[in-house]
Amino acid sequence: MILKASDGRSGDIEVLESLLKGEITADQRRAIEAELYTIRKGAEGERETAHILDRIYGHSERVAVIHDLRLPDGLNGYVQFDHLLLNRVLKRIAVLETKNFSGRISKNEHNEWCVWYPNRRQPTEIPNPVAQADRAARLLELWLEAHQHSAAFRRVEGWVIVPPTCKIDRTRIGTGTRIVKVDNFHERWIEDVSFSDATGFLTGLSVGQLRAVGMQLASQHVQPDYAWRRRFGINDMPNRAVASTPRPEIQPANVSAEPEAELETRSETLSEAVTVPPEGQDGVPLAEPAPATGSRPEPQDQSATDQEEVEPAPNPRKHGAKASVLVTVIEGISERVLPDGRIAFLAQPGTPAAEQLTGVCKGRAIWNPRFRNWLCSAERAEEIRHALGTQPAGERT
């Protein structure tokens, strides 16, 4: 049974296309085109997964299907789930994170993940997708516990779903890791049944109970508000003077040319289960409110999937633009918003905070040796803030 259909991103695509028709700068145009590319590719991967899941479980009375679910996380933020499958007989929930890779996904002995794309000499490092799916599963367990549904499901598991064109390096990843191609998921899921799952045939939920729990989940979905105009720095009234008379270029103190390596990492909009700030708070950390002059554009929910091609990267140098003031994330670590919308994290070199920041940002951000800071997208910054907030100073991830 399908309790919540896939929302899609047609509304966001329509808004962004309308912004391209307005009076905007060349840098804003490049940034919007890159965002459109990411959303379209991500939506394509999610549509394919949703279509297959609906064909398999759409008429089932044992499994409830929920797509594109965004729930409050209890920490003034939100968590995004691509797909949820609730099995009332086996008393299990599968949390599916869609990754739209087309290269070869692999990892090394240190559990550091990467994707080898065709015609590229070096792999692209990515955050551990299995760990991301597991974090999503743990967050859903907390929701079940908070709503007194813990006894209804024995197992809540994270699964990573990749398209059929993606190659999985099983020599490195292993056959037991819960990362599968979308057309193989059903077979793997029903094979992974334990003795405790089998007893669920006697104690499982009824169809009505399954529907009630699933509808309660779906009813708490919060529609995201990406505030695209604010995100790209577009005023409500076009400034014709800016378009006709370019201002002298000002190089902010903490902005450098975009590193070449970031062209690949920008194409990863992983569908991670990370908390994102609520609408209207502009991503201000919970620990310390930011000054009025240091507010950041509201980041995009990480609901799009990882991409397999290089996106057109926006130029970080803007005419007349300035980086925002520094905002403290945790003690010893600060951040600021660069004119192109990226986030720069920095800490005093040689301190425990700098070591902690390095451990968290490695694989998630790009090191800028010129200004000794870590650069990442607004979406990736949410994951870094979350990791910094839960990791003791000086401890590496």
Taking only the tens place, the pLDDT of each residue in 210-225 is: 999 999 999 989 887 7
pLDDT at 236: 58
Could you tell me if 315 and 328 are in contact, meaning their C-beta atoms sit under 8 angstroms apart? Answer: no
Mean pLDDT of 259-279: 35
Hey, which bits of the chain come out as E strands?
A: 2-4, 63-72, 78-87, 92-98, 104-107, 113-116, 124-126, 155-162, 167-168, 179-181, 327-330, 333-337, 343-347, 366-368, 373-376
Number of neighbouring beta carbons within 10 Å of residue 202: 7
pLDDT at 303: 39
Mean pLDDT of 96-125: 88
Phi, psi of 30 (to 5 degrees): -65, -40
Could you tell me if 114 and 352 are in contact, meaning their C-beta atoms sit under 8 angstroms apart? Answer: no
Q: How confident is the model at residue 315 (pLDDT cuts 50, 70, 90)?
A: very low
Number of neighbouring beta carbons within 10 Å of residue 294: 17
- Give Dmax (Cα) for the chain: 75
Q: d(Cα 92, Cα 156) in Å, to the nearest integer?
A: 6
Q: d(Cα 3, Cα 367) in Å, to the nearest integer?
A: 43
pLDDT at 65: 95
Number of neighbouring beta carbons within 10 Å of residue 190: 10
Q: How far is CA 183 from CA 26, 62, 128, 310, 328, in A?
A: 41, 20, 22, 26, 45
Tens of pLDDT, residues 16-65: 988 888 888 888 888 888 888 888 877 777 888 888 999 999 999 999 99
Q: Across 181-185, 261-265, 297-301, 306-310, which has the greatest mean pLDDT?
A: 181-185
Q: What is the dihedral of CA 238, 14, 224, 96, to 10 degrees?
A: -140
Intra-chain end-to-end CA distance of the chain, in Å: 40
pTM (2 d.p.): 0.57
Q: Inform me whether the pLDDT recorded for 115 exceeds 80.
A: yes
**Torsional sign, CA 241, 243, 247, 252:** positive
Q: How confident is the model at residue 159 (pLDDT cuts 50, 70, 90)?
A: very high
Q: d(Cα 359, Cα 262) in Å, to the nearest integer?
A: 18
pLDDT at 276: 36
Q: How confident is the model at residue 260 (pLDDT cuts 50, 70, 90)?
A: very low
pLDDT at 197: 56
pLDDT top residue among 239 and 68: 68
Q: d(Cα 96, Cα 137) in Å, to the nearest integer?
A: 9
Q: Inform me whether the pLDDT recorded for 397 exceeds 90.
A: no
What's the count of helices (H) and strands (E) in the chain, helices before strands? 13, 15
pLDDT top residue among 315 and 344: 344
Task: Reduce the DSSP state of residue 256 to 3 states and report it.
Answer: coil
Q: Is 148 left (phi over 0), alpha (psi -120 to 50) or beta?
A: left
Q: d(Cα 76, Cα 311) in Å, to the nearest integer?
A: 31
Q: Inform me whether the pLDDT recorded for 314 exceeds 50.
A: no
**Torsional sign, CA 306, 311, 314, 315:** positive
- Token pair listed for 263: 């062209």
Residue type, 283: G
Mean pLDDT of 158-185: 90
